[in-house]
Structure 1
Amino acid sequence: MERGGPVVVEGPVEVVLEDGTVARSDRFAVALCTCRRSRTYPWCDTSHRRREHRGPTEGDRP
């Protein structure tokens, strides 16, 4: 599992969200978002890749 990345589970899947609604997928495998940046939450849309936080590097120091 990639840190901050999705959790891939075998489908079909039903996910109960915090507000009580149920998200369903009939796919044979689905990626669940763990970073909460996805516009298609609870499904991963790879938003975690676009906002990787990287610490300072040698070139960034004054």
Structure 2
Amino acid sequence: MTEPDEQPAQRWDDQWADQPAAGADEPVSITAYPNGPLLVRGTFEIRTPTGEVIPPRRKTVALCRCGVSTLKPFCDGSHKAIGFKTEQEPPAPQPPLTD
């Protein structure tokens, strides 16, 4: 039998498995899915407020926007169960930042 904590991660895998993963040298891209998570692709680090690295386990991850995920900061699909709705579409893409 699958543990409850494993089920949300499986939903994430099923939902986003067809998304292409970024290569090691690709810049980070973040896609805001309407009524869903932020999909982050590329080479990146996620850190806690104390600076500890949270291993992403994938080159493409979905970050929670609804605040209900049991896998925070990662999405577990809870946004569907609570009917999470984004207030508006994300703004138009901005040009990349330069050093």
| More helix, by proportion | 2
Q: Residue type of the partner of 2:34?
A: E
Please point out which of 46, 49, 62 is paired with 2:80: 49
**Partner SS, residue 40 of structure 2:** strand
Is there any run of 5+ residues in structure 2 with no aligned partner, and where? 1-32, 86-99
| More strand, by proportion | 1
Please point out which of 20, 34, 38 is paired with 1:2: 34
TM-score (norm 2): 0.43
Please point out which of 50, 60, 68 is paired with 1:37: 68
Q: Aligned pair in 2 of structure 1 residues 21, 53: CA closer, same or farther (>3 Å)? A: same
Is there any run of 5+ residues in structure 1 with no aligned partner, and where? 55-62
Q: Residue type of the partner of 1:7?
A: L
CA RMSD across the alignment:
2.3
**Partner SS, residue 72 of structure 2:** coil
CA contact (8 A) 2:66 2:84 kept: no
- State the structure with more CA Rg: 1
The percent of aligned pairs where both chains have the same amino acid is 36
How big is the shift at 1:10? 1.1
Q: Equivalent residue for 2:54?
A: 23
Q: Residue type of the partner of 1:26?
A: R
